[in-house]
Chains A and B, each alone.
Chain A
């Protein structure tokens, strides 16, 4: 698989470490009411869809950026790549 890095251009997926579902960016607030249940959900449960999947890849052997890759889990086709930093800022998870 080739991941089209937004800054570096096409890179072999072997340069990356796979983390999983991009919803891991949305870490719950540990101080809220019901934080225990929210963290159980966050740490252990997954949608695991067959089809479009937004997922985190870490460019360990490159620029060490985190990417959010939209990939089809049935065909392995990658349709969209963005910097995880931008995704996190948009959702208010990062300054």
Chain B
């Protein structure tokens, strides 16, 4: 039964006895048309759009732990489409448009809040670069607005404008950017997929692929073999480990990224801000905590926890930009494991094995991509052709020299 304000009132009057679990807990069937490995945001979104938009049936999502327990529960909840390159910007703008209609679409309150994102400018060269980026965004139908330092001061008067080394010279704003309640994204997609017949199978770890004559026939799991005509892998963070079971080596390294949340405060930060001279970004959650993060630790890691040097680096960046942060107490910090690809951009593509499809390499931009990633992966799985906004996310782009390198760092994953 759909969720609504009317239903909340009705249930309140009848002792809340009518609520049922938001998704089933089914036993795995022996065979499915499509199996998605990974019950995170991207995997659940893929299953949801496969069922809803591409009229596919007999779909299962297989998750080794519980759904939404990986990076969709570990990010800094920011959505935006402020990319520069042609291979990326249409895809992220498609994603932002899907975010805008998401809650009505899957009938779940994901608290999508378009409070705006502001990239701060600290030098003339950076202003030139941001003007170029803003123009690229406008050309792709996104919104972008260049703000003078006076305009930034009106909206964020508490920032450190006169810093001797990195004074604030203005900013590039995207008003349609913002934040989303991250766990609710996983739950909303799970509920929407489940209600359309998708089996969400938790506590079921994939231990191998059954590949015969170059054709993937299904997956071996901790709960037995499950057959499938097509298998889609969406396990960013663990992509190399899972795909190694199919004999593949990927252009990906796993790195740890840390994030932080402060004690709850009264509203102080109206939107998302990013420091242009160091790696620091911050927003305020609806509960009041300042949610912030910085750069990856920089060495291969599957630990889901980082080390203190990066904590210090993030806090230094925060203090340089936002001195009031020094009076705030830190409540929690955590780490997530990122698929850092060789050019900083993702992969949504078929593999050389028939019936095996891959979605990964999201670096630390995976959360904002969730709806479009799911849609485009569903498009690929259902039609065997890439979605028009995801044609550049190919496996062979490294071999062919068609990298999508937003930062221009080359094949050095910890610099993207």
A75 and B303 contacting across the interface, CB-CB below 8 Å: yes
B221 interfacial by beta-carbon distance below 8 Å: no
B309 interfacial by beta-carbon distance below 8 Å: yes
CB distance from B280 to the nearest CB of A (A): 18
Chain A 38-76 against B: per-residue CB contact (8 Å), 1 yes, 0 no?
001101111111100101000000000000000101111
A93 interfacial by beta-carbon distance below 8 Å: no
The majority secondary structure among interface residues of chain A is: mixed
CB distance from A28 to the nearest CB of B (A): 15
B298 and A48 contacting across the interface, CB-CB below 8 Å: no
Of the candidates A45, A49, A50, A55, which one forms a contact with B299 in the assembled complex, judged by CB atoms under 8 Å apart?
A55
Binds A, one of B91-99, B112-120, B250-258, B376-384: B250-258
Q: Closest residue to A12 on the B side, CB-wise?
A: B309
A46 and B299 contacting across the interface, CB-CB below 8 Å: no
A79 interfacial by beta-carbon distance below 8 Å: no
Q: A18-B298, A40-B399, A47-B240 are in contact. Are A76 and B303 (CB under 8 A)?
A: yes
B413 and A76 contacting across the interface, CB-CB below 8 Å: no
Q: Which residues of A contact B303 (CB under 8 A)?
A: 73-76
B385 interfacial by beta-carbon distance below 8 Å: no
Q: How far is B303's CA from A15's CA once the two chains are assembled, in angstroms?
A: 22
Q: Which of A67-93 contact B (CB under 8 A)?
A: 71, 73-76
Q: Closest residue to A50 on the B side, CB-wise?
A: B302
CB distance from A76 to the nearest CB of B (A): 6
CB distance from A61 to the nearest CB of B (A): 12
Q: Which of B384-416 contact A (CB under 8 A)?
A: 398-399, 411-414
B300 and A55 contacting across the interface, CB-CB below 8 Å: yes
Q: Which of B236-293 contact A (CB under 8 A)?
A: 238, 240-241, 244, 249-254
A20 interfacial by beta-carbon distance below 8 Å: yes
Question: What are 21 contact pairs spanning A and B, CB under 8 A?
Answer: A18-B298, A18-B414, A20-B412, A20-B414, A40-B398, A40-B399, A43-B342, A44-B398, A45-B250, A45-B251, A46-B252, A46-B253, A48-B240, A48-B241, A48-B254, A50-B238, A50-B254, A55-B299, A73-B254, A73-B302, A76-B301
Contacts A18-B299, A71-B299 aside, 20 further interface pairs with beta carbons under 8 A come to A1-B307, A21-B300, A40-B399, A41-B249, A44-B399, A44-B411, A45-B251, A46-B252, A48-B241, A48-B250, A48-B252, A48-B300, A49-B241, A55-B300, A73-B254, A73-B301, A73-B302, A75-B303, A76-B303, A76-B307
**4 nearest interchain CB pairs?**
A48-B240, A50-B302, A45-B249, A44-B398
